[in-house]
Amino acid sequence: MVHNRKSFSLEEYKISPFMIGTMRLGQWGSKMNASEIEKFIEGCIALDLIDFDHADIYGSYTTESDFGAVLKKRPDLRNQMRITTKCGIRIVSKNRPEHQIKSYDLTKDHIKRSVENSLLALHTDHIDTLLLHRPDFLFDPQEIARAFTALEKEGKVKNFGVSNFSISQCELLQEIFPLCTHQVEISLLHREAFENGILDQCQKWGITPTAWSPLGGGVLLNSSEDRNIAELQKKITLLAEKYHAQPDQVLLAWLRKHPAGIVSVLGTSKLSRIKNAKDSLKINLTHEEWYMLWQAATGTEIA
Ligand SMILES: NC(=O)c1ccc[n+]([C@@H]2O[C@H](COP(=O)([O-])OP(=O)(O)OC[C@H]3O[C@@H](n4cnc5c(N)ncnc54)[C@H](OP(=O)(O)O)[C@@H]3O)[C@@H](O)[C@H]2O)c1
């Protein structure tokens, strides 16, 4: 059964040129306190970067609550942002004592319960975009579509997407329920999406690909004993000099060059680096420069 969404139009799906990742803001990273999170949110909004990327599991199920505590105090901020969150991974945590082992779960019950938990934690009445964090090998697309349809009808979730799905898994779901976005790992360190068809699929369907760990989780910027990475960093420095830019800006410009319109999910907790990212929109690498970085990253000339 195809789940028609009368109110749905891909053209109306909006996303900023960069998303703000929250994975490292709390317990899994910089451990910001409430006033630091508040300033961080204000700074991002002032830059017109209003899409915040969460997942229920971040900070072992605590980061949504840390962020939500700020929204409780400052509901005006909620009105100025869009919230993406994810569900479907169950990690072992003292905050979820019922989880015996790590597993994936995309049953209707788990999806619906996760959304209820996220709404409570984030102090909001709706999620702008819900992503299925990882494919559950046991997933039934009809069951997922029923969960999505119910959440949409209840006004709890506006848009739906996936993360880390294969081409065929996306097809299974997209055929019965329209998706808006696919979040995958893409960077000069992880280039699979350029070759495995995921970006082609996004272009074909007109859905937005978002890139997690666009800087390779920081690996591409820190000194490395890996020869390929060190060689790549030399080329990045060359281009940074040419464009009077920082290396992270070159890495983000490299992702943006792809016609699928990749939106990077920034992982920094520093506003100065968010500002740099925004400024990287001015950089338009040439075709040859794009390949120069690709070849440096792979360590081989293309065929
Ligand atoms: N869907 C999924 O499965 C999935 C998986 C992982 C992550 N995500 C999402 O993607 C977001 C981004 O992932 P990520 O944090 O791995 O992204 P990233 O931007 O590749 O890496 C961020 C890390 O790089 C460091 N960094 C940034 N700029 C730097 C610079 N100029 N020099 C040195 N280090 C620098 C940051 O440290 P500072 O804070 O000090 O700048 C931070 O530790 C997450 O927040 C999350 O929302 C999704």
How confident is the chain (303 residues) per 10-residue block, as mean pLDDT?
66 91 98 98 98 98 98 98 98 97 98 98 98 98 98 97 98 96 98 98 97 98 92 97 98 98 98 98 98 96 93
Nearest 5°: CA angle at 220, between 219 and 222? 65
Is the residue at 184 inside a domain? Answer: no
pLDDT at 5: 62
Give the pLDDT confidence score for residue 296 in this predicted structure.
96
* Tokens coding 160: 């739906």
Nearest CA to ligand 1 atom 40: 268
Stated pTM of the model: 0.97
DSSP label of 91: -
Which two structure tokens, joined as six digits, stand for 127? 């999620």
Structure tokens at 27: 């317990």
Nearest CA to ligand 1 atom 42: 268
Scanning 79-129, the segments in alpha helix (DSSP H) are 108-122
pLDDT of residue 10: 79
Ligand 1 atom closest to 184 (CA): 1
- Write out residues with Cβ below 6 Å of ligand 1: 21-24, 53, 133, 163-164, 183, 212-218, 221-222, 248, 265-270, 273
User: What's the gap in Å between 27 CA and the centre of ligand 1?
Assistant: 14
Task: Please indicate, yes or no, if residue 75 is contained in any of the structural domains.
Answer: yes
Alpha carbons 238 and 273: distance in angstroms, whole number? 20
CATH at residue 75: 3.20.20.100
Please check whether residue 231 lies inside any domain of the structure.
Answer: no
Spatial contact of 121 and 131, defined as CB atoms under 8 Å apart = no
Domain contains 121: yes
H/E stretch holding 253 reads: helix 247-256
Q: How far apart (Å, rounded) are the C-alpha atoms in residues 62 and 27?
A: 7
Residue range(s) defining the domain that contains residue 116: 12-179
Pairing mode, if any, of strands 51-53 and 181-185? unpaired
- Beta-bridge mates of residue 132: 87, 162
Residue 21 Cα, ligand 1 centroid: separation in angstroms? 7
The atom number, within ligand 1, closest to the CA of 222 reads: 33
Active-site entry in 58, 61, 243, 291:
58
Residue 148: which of 160, 135, 163, 136 has the closest Cα?
A: 160
> From the centroid of its chain, how far is CA 243?
27
Does residue 239 lie in a domain region? Answer: no
Tally the domains of the chain: 1
**Ligand 1, atom 26: nearest CA belongs to which residue?**
218
Nearest to 7 by CA among 180, 125, 165: 180
Q: Beta-carbon neighbour count of residue 123 at 10 Å?
A: 18
Residue 204's Cβ-side half-sphere holds a number of Cα atoms within 13 Å equal to 9
Flag whether 131 is in a domain: yes
Ligand 1, atom 31: closest residue by C-alpha: 248
Residue 165 lies in a domain: yes
Please give the number of the atom of ligand 1 that sits closest to the Cα of 134.
Answer: 3
Count CB atoms within 10 A of the CB of residue 261: 17
> Beta strand 263-266 with 18-21: parallel, antiparallel or unpaired?
parallel
**Residue 13 a catalytic site member:** no
**φ, ψ of residue 18 in degrees (nearest 5):** -140, 150
CA-proximal residue: ligand 1, atom 10 (nearest) = 212
Distance in Å, CA 265 to ligand 1 centroid: 8
Which ligand 1 atom is nearest residue 216's CA? 20
- The whole-number pLDDT of residue 59 equals 98
Cβ-Cβ contacts under 8 Å for 164 (sequence gap 6 or more): 133, 134, 135, 183, 184, 185
Distance 182 CA to ligand 1 centre (A): 18
For 249, residues 6+ apart whose C-beta sits below 8 A from its C-beta are: 240, 243, 276, 277, 279, 280, 283
In a domain, 69, yes or no: yes
Q: How far is the CA of 177 from the centre of ligand 1 (A)?
A: 30
